[in-house]
Structure 1
Amino acid sequence: MADASASAPIKPFQGVHASLPHDSAVRHVAGTAIYIDDLAEPAGMLHVHIGLSARAHARITAMDLSAVRSAPGVVLVLTADEIPGENDVSPVIHDDKLFATDTVTYVGQSLFAVAATSLAAARAAAARAVVTYEDLPAAIDIAAARTTGLTLENSQRMARGDAAAVLTASPRRLQGRFVIGGQDHFYLEGQIALATPGETGEVHVWSSTQHPSEVQHLVARVLDLPQSAVTVEVRRMGGGFGGKETQASLFAAAAALVAVKTGRAAKCRPDRDEDMIMTGKRHDFEIAYDVGFGDDGVLSGIALDLASRCGATTDLSMAINDRAMFHADNCYFLPAVEIVSHRFRTHTVSNTAFRGFGGPQGMIAIERVMDAVAQATGLDPLEVRRRNLYGEPGRDLTPYHQTVEDNVAPQLLAELAASCDYEARQRQIDAFNAASPILKKGLALTPVKFGISFTTTHLNQAGALIHLYADGSILLNHGGTEMGQGLFTKVAQIVAEAFQVDIARVRSTSTVTDKVPNTSATAASSGTDLNGMAALDAANTIKARLVEFAAKKWACAEAEVAFTRQGLKAGDALIPFEDLCRQAYLARVSLSSTGFYATPKIHYDRATHSGRPFYYFAYGAACSEVIIDTLSGEMKVTRVDILHDVGQSLNPALDLGQIEGGFIQGMGWLTTEELVFDREGRLRTHAPSTYKIPTIGDRPAQMDIRLWAAGRNVEATVHRSKAVGEPPLMLAISVFSAITRAVASVADHRVMPRLDAPATPEAILMAVEDVKRRAAAHG
């Protein structure tokens, strides 16, 4: 038996670094991938509909639900009075109520839940509610919140050096301000939960969430149950992007409460309009800058003022705004810097996590500064960026006092500028603009440096569970959730690599809280870093047992035992993997293990905003070319070249897909996706008819995306890879800078455009007209 397979053909190995398809790719395309709404509905299942507030800020003077309770098909109506535990579904501060009580603080706030035999019956019944309000003053935007002093917490300050003194002494100085709009997650699968009751009060919840453990803990809190009595399961989500990190909890808790109260399964699934009205968005920001610099474009000092609309409750706004501060340097050394962050409470739905988690808002601030300095000095914007990059010791310290030890931005920018022929194209565009009175082009090349780790230190941990069966098949479970990004595929590749077996042997199962407990959200771009290392830890534990067993059985030293593509080599023996597992089982060797990983080296003191919050940085660069119509404001991205550093890629195909998807989503944030709230706080853009995400027609016709061949993580991540989920979104800042350049060309770059994001056709047209007026006024 030892030599039986020695001459057998070897299949191409499919472990790490192989471009394997997403594990559900075929099912995604065929429409056979199972999402929660595809699950067979249990007999007697109830449909849950949430009754919503119609006011932004008001006192509830009366709420008559008698007609709701008597409506056809209604089985149960729930308000805060029926909650056995705490009326709270918040992630941190205990200020997000499942059902409002005395006061409502935004349009779309949950008031009550109706459980009925059909969704149509539940909706019709909810419409019978009679709610009377006493309106209170409402602050809908940042300006109103600033005027009335509504904040979530005191303003936060991050600083290094004496920015005020340096600004005063700077040879040149600029001030400016601009606005960045929010963004809806617009996941393909909306918020949904399906709860089934157990026989002794426990409950099982299928939830479309990025954070199963948090949903478990919050449902237990609402039901007044121990966390062990609540099981939350997620096989896959149809997109999340941060929108399902905290805000899935309300729908899960409502469904679970109905299930426990009635003893029947319950499903809560809002439609698209309700989902967009009820759930938070990316934070919109108002940014002001005061920058000092020389004629060479090198910054000497800077003061940044970041103000965000957080919404009615805290959610994750404190950490999100902190990350905006962390990323307000991007790739640039700021010799003297002060960053002040204001977190305003408004009477709108609470904004929440979104891909980049505040990083994009901070990053675009400094990129606007680079464009403004370039315009003021007459230098090429790329040259200004290069001159301000982090560099040698003395120019390698961030505003939060972390040393940048892995800086590859200079190499990335140089390589991309050469490969995309930046200088020649810039000359061609200048010539085109000089000869074209109506159509104007813009070109911009911008870098990305994104910190990888949760900035809340204790979240940087993960667990995993691996079972080897006697037939050689492998079951893998971990705390990460699959939302289309390919996490399950990558972690399965890591396990296949560890055992040197074909990935077909590895079966990934649903993320479920009764297998791997107390997990962190799949967020902060850390899903593979954390869960991949935890899975590798579990695999290594089992491998150590098998090595010890094989050394004894085949009478060799443990150093002579190795896992190979052909099977386990033990001295002169070669044992097929399935035979090894069977013999180990018969010898009573444990073939199951948990694994655990905690990110090393990180620490952070929020009181002083200093420390090492990030294990490492992910880098990238993008060059975008746009063309605008100065008569209509219409814009088209015509070409994009991207060079991105993913370290040693675990799966190049998946990484390239994440880069393209992230870039397009970022492009939507900055160009087409406009959220509009009216004066009463009602969201007016709550459907595809009024909210425009990028479509295939918006994708640049010429798009070249490459992984940086020299990439390798200097830190000991899994197989020296780097995270790729969030960083590519910020590559789209190059589009916004290119639009800014195109608008500025209308007046031969004599004035800096006042262009806010999103740069919709209306915004571009107004910026063009403003540039014309200001240029004429200055002669």
Structure 2
Amino acid sequence: MTRHEPRTQGKAKIDGGVASDEKHDSARKHVSGEAIYIDDMAEPAGTLHACLGLSEVAHGAITGFDLSDVRAAPGVVAVLTANDVPGDNDMSPTGLHDEPILADGRVQFFGQPVFAVIAETREAARRACRLAKIDYAEEPALIDVADAADDAKLVTAPLKLERGDSAAAIAAAPHTIRGQMRVGGQDHFYLEGQIAFALPGEDGDVTVFSSTQHPSEVQHMVAHALGVPSHAVTIEVRRMGGGFGGKETQANLFATIAAIAAKKLNRPVKLRPDRDDDMTATGKRHDFLIDYTVGFDDEGGILGVDFTYAARCGYAADLSGPVTDRALFHCDNTYFYPAARAVSRPLYTNTVSNTAFRGFGGPQGMIGAERIIDEVAFALGRDPLEIRKKNLYGTDDRNVTPYHQTVEDNVAERVIAELEASADYAARRREIAAFNAKSPVIKRGLALTPVKFGISFTATHFNQAGALVHVYTDGSVHLNHGGTEMGQGLHTKVAQIVAEEFQIDIDQVKITATTTGKVPNTSATAASSGTDLNGMAAQDAARQIKNRLIAFAAEAHDVPKDQVVFLPGRVRIGNREIPFAELIGEAYMARIQLSAAGFYKTPKIHWDRDKGQGRPFYYFAYGAACAEVSVDTLTGEYMIERVDILHETGRSLNRAIDIGQIEGGFIQGMGWLTTEELIWDGKGRLRTHAPSTYKIPLASDRPKVFNVALADWAENAEPTVHRSKAVGEPPFMLAMCVLHALSDAVASVAGHTVCPRLDAPATPERVLMAVERMKAEGAR
């Protein structure tokens, strides 16, 4: 694995400032078991436990509802139904009022929460749930998007992107290909499941400890459900055991139920579902059915494209609108289309309402782009990498996206070129061809795929953040911001930023739990923008205090402001140096304010959805990955032999954390595209609802050789915090190289003359079926 020394920027460094490989603030606690998660918190006397009663049909009206045996069960204190919600029985994040907390009269997916049991123990609540007698008048259910008619119901308004006349360009093209690709969904499978712990207070107050990426949204949902103002509800999050988007909106259900029960009974209430119930009742990554048409010339240059992205959205909108929008935003990946049309179909289905997941539709969009590259390459008998390079964004008339944003920071060509050289792509391509010619059963495949991922919330108003910084009289610093920590190292990076501003060691900066009582109206920690937004807000707060200190020191010591310089652990004032803590003490005695609230909003971005035009992204993050695989053509089983990654993170704030995010994101993306398969039966029951039936990647599934490098020449062209770039989501899509390496290995069976059209996830079964198709094609 390749690692680089951090930049020193030509000066003495503090311990834990930016550009240093500072360890995650909770790393030791994670591995020792000392990290406190919600279920580890000491339970106050009288704590009750909740369990959800889930529907057993996918679609229908409730005709009989007998909960008498549930109420009479041992240990049961209360049973909640929709009638017990004191305020608004809705948890829709988009305000469409299409997502009830508890079903009211009818159910729309198998596993929808219908009631909640509150009992003295968790076991008692779980056992009581099974005693419910509910009768349904079942109605036809739509489960698979492939079964949806052309006039099928949509959960939200579709989006269309259009630039140029794609129909005319495709019609005039020397070559045209039409096809369809199915891309599966993915369960978040966080280590810590959904959980909420509500403590009632006086009057209408309630405090909820929630495992959520969006404390302010949970605050609003709880307030609406209770019928109280937002100021009566406090949400606190110290850390999550994973999120990946699954805790952006899905925490609403558990927090509202716990809060309603706590206020009704005036006792603390905890709701922690079993993994089975968690997987059944919460949304997942959207699976897509992608229809595509591409027109291209004899050299492989794409002339026009037409995409339709149909998504299984579930019974309610949730975040399906922006997810399917972002899929369209990434239907180009790194490629310029002279003419393009892309349309989304966010389809209503009688399944759980799907939600945010790392990449937020971007991976599904890119998969469509990479499929048409493969189609063109196989049709012309070319190496897919050659076609990828030929169609990259360029300058002047080749740098405008289908949504009319100009690509100003394109480094894809350089990233690809450097990785192609460092991974020894050309020589390995020759070696693999020679190996396959002599190997009748085991076939190897190689693919190099790029990534261009847009950074910003496409809902412009979410691109804002706040932070609170206090400096105490001993020189220690208290830091709070609106972002949430889910293992990605956000708190560490923001603490590094504050430490850098004051030039103090990071152990002098105390990172505190995210709470709506300190920083209000926060955006979700999502869209890869956690550090971009909260880091800038914290920097703003620190600089306010720093500027006050500079003004005070200059006046008190009678020197110009430019002669007050913060140095590691000390401050130079004219020709005198004093410890940082000493300056703070002097400032306090002089009644200088040592606290500040910082704020940041992303500049330049704008988006007109009706026109399908604007600048939804502040900048793009780039990367590329090269994978080599071996496939057993008799069984479809395969091994990932080697992966090489080159990813640019701008001027990295913390290379150790960034490399960890790249490694983890890649493996998670590899799982999505290879082993993680969601299956619903004809009744709408999720059959892959536990670790026994749902296969996430294991340590043994990682590439045998795994080389990860950061592009050390990269620097964000935009003035982000220390010119860094986001790293949360972009690496996930690097795993596309594995799917295309598998496709390359399968294609070798027919001499690379036919595109295998390998759907995702490319399980061994799908690989084997594709091999058999290739054998049949090759025999013709």
| TM-score interval, smaller chain | over 0.9
Q: Which runs of 4+ in 1 moved over 2 A?
A: 10-14, 143-148, 153-156
Say which of 704, 713, 718 aligns to 1:715: 718
Partner residue in 2 for 1:473: 476
Measure how far apart 1:39 and its partner are.
0.1
Greater shift, 582-591 or 185-194, is seen at 582-591
Measure how far apart 1:667 and its partner are.
0.2
Partner residue in 2 for 1:160: 163
1:686-706 CA distance string (max 9 Å, x none): 111110000100001101000
State the identity %.
62
Q: CA contact under 8 A between 2:505 and 2:569: conserved in structure 1?
A: no
Partner residue in 2 for 1:86: 88
- After TM superposition, the structure 1 = structure 2 runs for residues 655-670 of structure 1, keeping only pairs within 5 Å, are 655-670=658-673
SS of the counterpart of 2:369? helix
Measure how far apart 1:274 and its partner are.
0.6
Say which of 134, 142, 147 aligns to 2:145: 142
Q: CA contact under 8 A between 1:146 and 1:344: conserved in structure 2?
A: no
SS of the counterpart of 2:262? helix
Partner residue in 1 for 2:682: 679
The separation in 2 between residues aligned to 1:201 and 1:390, in whole angstroms, is 56
Partner residue in 1 for 2:355: 352
Measure how far apart 1:70 and its partner are.
1.3
The separation in 1 between residues aligned to 2:257 and 2:572, in whole angstroms, is 55
SS of the counterpart of 2:518? coil
Name the count of aligned residue pairs.
768
Amino acid of the residue matched to residue 566 of structure 2?
F
TM-score normalized with structure 2 length:
0.98
- After TM superposition, the structure 1 = structure 2 runs for residues 498-647 of structure 1, keeping only pairs within 5 Å, are 498-647=501-650
Q: CA contact under 8 A between 1:401 and 1:611: conserved in structure 2?
A: yes
Say which of 744, 766, 769 aligns to 1:766: 769
The separation in 1 between residues aligned to 2:148 and 2:48, in whole angstroms, is 41
Partner residue in 2 for 1:4: none
The separation in 1 between residues aligned to 2:421 and 2:481, in whole angstroms, is 42
Q: Is 1:286 the counterpart of 2:286 in the alignment?
A: no
The separation in 1 between residues aligned to 2:158 and 2:503, in whole angstroms, is 53
SS of the counterpart of 2:733? helix
Q: CA contact under 8 A between 2:14 and 2:500: conserved in structure 1?
A: no
Partner residue in 1 for 2:227: 224
Amino acid of the residue matched to residue 559 of structure 1?
D
1:456-506 CA distance string (max 9 Å, x none): 000000000000000000000000000000000000000000000000100
Partner residue in 2 for 1:17: 19
SS of the counterpart of 1:231? strand
1:301-349 CA distance string (max 9 Å, x none): 1111111100010000000000000000000000001111111100000
Measure how far apart 1:582 and its partner are.
1.1
Q: CA contact under 8 A between 2:327 and 2:364: conserved in structure 1?
A: yes
Amino acid of the residue matched to residue 80 of structure 1?
A
SS of the counterpart of 1:710? coil
Q: CA contact under 8 A between 1:145 and 1:151: conserved in structure 2?
A: no
Q: Is 1:70 the counterpart of 2:72 in the alignment?
A: yes
The separation in 2 between residues aligned to 1:570 and 1:108, in whole angstroms, is 66
Measure how far apart 1:554 and its partner are.
1.1
Measure how far apart 1:153 and its partner are.
3.2
SS of the counterpart of 1:728? helix
Q: Is 1:451 the counterpart of 2:454 in the alignment?
A: yes
Measure how far apart 1:372 and its partner are.
1.1
Partner residue in 1 for 2:374: 371
1:364-392 CA distance string (max 9 Å, x none): 10101111111111111111100100001
1:654-711 CA distance string (max 9 Å, x none): 0000000000000000000000000000000011111000010000110100000111
1:197-256 CA distance string (max 9 Å, x none): 002220000000000000000000000010000000000000000000000010000000
Q: CA contact under 8 A between 2:159 and 2:609: conserved in structure 1?
A: no
1:271-300 CA distance string (max 9 Å, x none): 111100000110000111111111111101
Say which of 697, 700, 717 aligns to 1:697: 700
Amino acid of the residue matched to residue 587 of structure 1?
A
Say if 1:566 and 1:198 are closer, same or farther in 2 by CA, change over 3 A: closer
Partner residue in 2 for 1:6: none
The separation in 2 between residues aligned to 1:335 and 1:80, in whole angstroms, is 53
The separation in 1 between residues aligned to 2:332 and 2:440, in whole angstroms, is 36
SS of the counterpart of 2:149? helix
Measure how far apart 1:126 and its partner are.
1.2
Measure how far apart 1:258 and its partner are.
0.6
Partner residue in 1 for 2:402: 399
Measure how far apart 1:145 and its partner are.
2.9
The separation in 1 between residues aligned to 2:614 and 2:150, in whole angstroms, is 34
The separation in 1 between residues aligned to 2:210 and 2:660, in whole angstroms, is 26
The separation in 2 between residues aligned to 1:462 and 1:156, in whole angstroms, is 28
Q: CA contact under 8 A between 1:278 and 1:349: conserved in structure 2?
A: yes
Q: Is 1:43 the counterpart of 2:75 in the alignment?
A: no
Q: Is 1:775 the counterpart of 2:767 in the alignment?
A: no
Measure how far apart 1:543 and its partner are.
0.5
Measure how far apart 1:603 and its partner are.
0.1
Amino acid of the residue matched to residue 32 of structure 1?
E
The separation in 1 between residues aligned to 2:557 and 2:657, in whole angstroms, is 41
The separation in 2 between residues aligned to 1:554 and 1:322, in whole angstroms, is 57
The separation in 1 between residues aligned to 2:670 and 2:538, in whole angstroms, is 35
Amino acid of the residue matched to residue 247 of structure 2?
K
Amino acid of the residue matched to residue 695 of structure 1?
L
The separation in 2 between residues aligned to 1:80 and 1:135, in whole angstroms, is 20
SS of the counterpart of 2:688? coil
The separation in 2 between residues aligned to 1:401 and 1:456, in whole angstroms, is 17
Amino acid of the residue matched to residue 363 of structure 1?
M
The separation in 1 between residues aligned to 2:754 and 2:80, in whole angstroms, is 59
SS of the counterpart of 1:146? coil
Measure how far apart 1:583 and its partner are.
1.2
The separation in 1 between residues aligned to 2:445 and 2:141, in whole angstroms, is 41
TM-score normalized with structure 1 length:
0.98
The separation in 1 between residues aligned to 2:509 and 2:198, in whole angstroms, is 29
Q: CA contact under 8 A between 1:219 and 1:252: conserved in structure 2?
A: yes
Amino acid of the residue matched to residue 46 of structure 2?
G
The separation in 2 between residues aligned to 1:606 and 1:36, in whole angstroms, is 39
Amino acid of the residue matched to residue 552 of structure 2?
F
- After TM superposition, the structure 1 = structure 2 runs for residues 268-417 of structure 1, keeping only pairs within 5 Å, are 268-417=271-420
Partner residue in 1 for 2:118: 115
Measure how far apart 1:754 and its partner are.
2.9
Measure how far apart 1:146 and its partner are.
2.8
Measure how far apart 1:744 and its partner are.
0.3
Measure how far apart 1:143 and its partner are.
2.3
Measure how far apart 1:581 and its partner are.
1.0
Measure how far apart 1:12 and its partner are.
5.1
Measure how far apart 1:82 and its partner are.
1.1
Amino acid of the residue matched to residue 179 of structure 1?
R
The separation in 1 between residues aligned to 2:619 and 2:104, in whole angstroms, is 45
Measure how far apart 1:148 and its partner are.
6.5
Amino acid of the residue matched to residue 172 of structure 1?
H
The separation in 2 between residues aligned to 1:41 and 1:12, in whole angstroms, is 40
Q: Is 1:732 the counterpart of 2:718 in the alignment?
A: no
Partner residue in 1 for 2:422: 419
Measure how far apart 1:420 and its partner are.
0.6
Say if 1:751 and 1:231 are closer, same or farther in 2 by CA, change over 3 A: same
1:692-734 CA distance string (max 9 Å, x none): 0001000011010000011100000000000000000000001
1:63-114 CA distance string (max 9 Å, x none): 1111111111111111111111000111012211111011100011111111
Unpaired runs of 5+ residues, structure 1, are 1-9
- After TM superposition, the structure 1 = structure 2 runs for residues 201-280 of structure 1, keeping only pairs within 5 Å, are 201-280=204-283
The separation in 1 between residues aligned to 2:325 and 2:533, in whole angstroms, is 22
SS of the counterpart of 1:394? helix
Q: CA contact under 8 A between 1:672 and 1:692: conserved in structure 2?
A: yes
Partner residue in 2 for 1:125: 128
